[in-house]
Amino acid sequence: MSLAIAREADSGSRAGNLQRHRPEQMCLYQLFEEYYPHFLDLLAAEG
Q: Give me the number of domains the chain comprises.
A: 1
- Does 15 reside within a domain? no
Tell me the pLDDT tens digit for each residue of 1-47.
566 666 655 555 566 788 888 988 999 999 999 999 999 999 999 98
pLDDT recorded at residue 4 = 63
Range of the domain at 31: 21-47
- Does 13 reside within a domain? no
pLDDT recorded at residue 37 = 97
pLDDT recorded at residue 13 = 59
The rounded distance, in Å, linking the Cα atoms of 10 and 2 is: 12
- Does 5 reside within a domain? no
pLDDT recorded at residue 47 = 86
- Does 36 reside within a domain? yes
- Does 41 reside within a domain? yes
Q: Give 42's contacts (C-beta < 8 A, 6+ positions apart).
A: none
